[in-house]
Structure 1
C-alpha cells in the first residue's frame, strides 16, 4: 500500500509544482494574472481530481496495471501542462 501513498504524493507534488510555476511566471512578468495562466491552473486541478479518483477506484481487477496506467496518465498530462506553462513565459 505504500506505493499507492507515493503515487498520491507524486500526483499532488507534480501538479502543485505546475500551479506554483504559473504563479512564478505571472509574478516575474509584471504580476498580472492571465487567462492562459488561469486555464493552466484549472486544468491542473481537474487533472488532480481525475487522477485521485482513478487511484481511489474500487473493484479494479489488476491493480498493478491500473496504477501503472494512472502514473502514465500523470506523466502525459503533466507534460502537456508544462508545455502550456512554457508558452506562458
Structure 2
C-alpha cells in the first residue's frame, strides 16, 4: 500500500522541515525569546502524532476519502505553522 507509506513520509518531511526552520531561526536570533518557537515545535509534534494515528487507523469505510482528508489536514496544519514561523 504505497499510498499509506508515501503519506507517512510526507507528514514526516513537511512537519520535520517546519521544526528545522524554527531551529534555524533560533540559531540566527540568539538574543530573542525562544518560547514562541518552542510552542510551534510542540504544536508540530502534536500534529504529527495525530496525523500518523489517523493514517494507522484500520477500520475506515472509504480509504481514499480518509487519506485525502488527512492530506488536506496536513496542508492546513503546515500552512498555519509556516505562517507562525514567518511571524517570528
In the alignment, is residue 69 of structure 1 matched against residue 69 of structure 2? yes
Partner Cα distance (2:45, 2:79) in 1: 15
- TM-score in terms of structure 2 length: 0.96
- Residue 57 in 1 paired to residue 57 in 2? yes
Between the two proteins, the alignment pairs up a number of residues equal to: 88
1:9-40 residue CA offsets vs partner (Å, 9 max, x unmatched): 00000000000000001101126661100000
CA distance in 2, matches of 1:33, 1:9: 31
- Aligned partners of 1:61 and 1:68: how far apart in 2? 13
| Unaligned residue ranges in structure 1 (runs of 5+) | none
- SS of 1:24's equivalent in the other structure is helix
Q: Which runs of 5+ in 2 are unaligned?
A: none
Partner of 1:38: 38
Structure 2 Cα separation of the partners of residues 30 and 42 of structure 1: 20
> How is 1:74-89 mapped onto 2 (pairs within 5 angstroms)?
74-88=74-88
